[in-house]
Chain A
Amino acid sequence: NAGVMQNPRHLVRRRGQEARLRCSPMKGHSHVYWYRQLPEEGLKFMVYLQKENIIDESGMPKERFSAEFPKEGPSILRIQQVVRGDSAAYFCASSQDRSAYNSPLHFGNGTRLTVT
């Protein structure tokens, strides 16, 4: 399977728990992006990583959210002490090159997080 793999597909957490979302980019892709989609809204950029480095985290809340893309293994988006407002679909995307125009993004199928 050469696509972007995200897991889990669905995640239910109680308020205050931690959520860990995983993303394995397409083979050969070193640029990883995380997006959040709230109901009836578009995709909002959260964080851009390139192997072991955070390039841009300007779209990610400063508190409770963190992301990593280790040398080995998938990229992880971590949300600590989740609140109801964190309920959303989280999409990971990868690209071969940095340019979103020349090297369009490949998206995973998303993780739908529900906070109860």
Chain B
Amino acid sequence: DQQVKQNSPSLSVQEGRISILNCDYTNSMFDYFLWYKKYPAEGPTFLISISSIKDKNEDGRFTVFLNKSAKHLSLHIVPSQPGDSAVYFCAASADQTGANNLFFGTGTRLTVIP
């Protein structure tokens, strides 16, 4: 049972434009959300997070939006750069306990075209 879903396996965007990666979840108890980025042959690296007390969190070119009523979050990257080409994983948790309670999506492969 996939509680965190990333329905777009891939996304291609022109350099300089906005990339929007989407994530949906089914468990209404989820309150903490994280995005990880993964390059080929490397492990995922933490990118940005948000908790349900906020609907937006920004860090440089990266912004995460949370719509709790729709059980949906999105990651915006603007402007997109070729180095952003990677697989992006969304993850969600109901509490602040261990990562054993963190559920990952299947990932979206972003390709930024120079």
Contacts and interface: CB of A to CB of B under 8 A. Distances in A.
Contacts of B6: 42
A84 to B, nearest CB: 21
Contacts of A91: 43-44
B43 A55 contact: no
Interface string B33-45: 0101000011111
A72 interface: no
B34 A109 contact: no
Contacts of A104: 34, 46, 49
Interface size band for B: 20 to 34
B41 A100 contact: no
A107 B96 contact: no
Contacts of B103: 45
Given A42-B107, A100-B34, A100-B102, A110 B43 contact: yes
Contacts of A35: 104
Interface size band for A: 20 to 34
B36 to A, nearest CB: 8
Contacts of A93: 43, 99
A95 B102 CA distance: 13
A40 interface: yes
B49 to A, nearest CB: 6
B105 A42 contact: yes
22 contacts: A31-B98, A33-B99, A35-B104, A42-B4, A42-B104, A43-B104, A45-B102, A45-B103, A48-B100, A55-B100, A56-B100, A93-B99, A99-B97, A99-B98, A100-B96, A100-B97, A100-B98, A100-B102, A101-B93, A101-B96, A104-B49, A107-B45
Interface of B: 2, 4, 6, 9, 32, 34, 36, 41-46, 49, 51, 89, 91, 93, 96-107
Nearest 6 Cβ contacts at the A-B interface? A107-B43, A100-B99, A104-B46, A48-B100, A42-B104, A99-B96
Interface of A: 4, 6, 31, 33, 35, 40-45, 48, 55-56, 58-59, 91, 93, 95, 98-102, 104-110
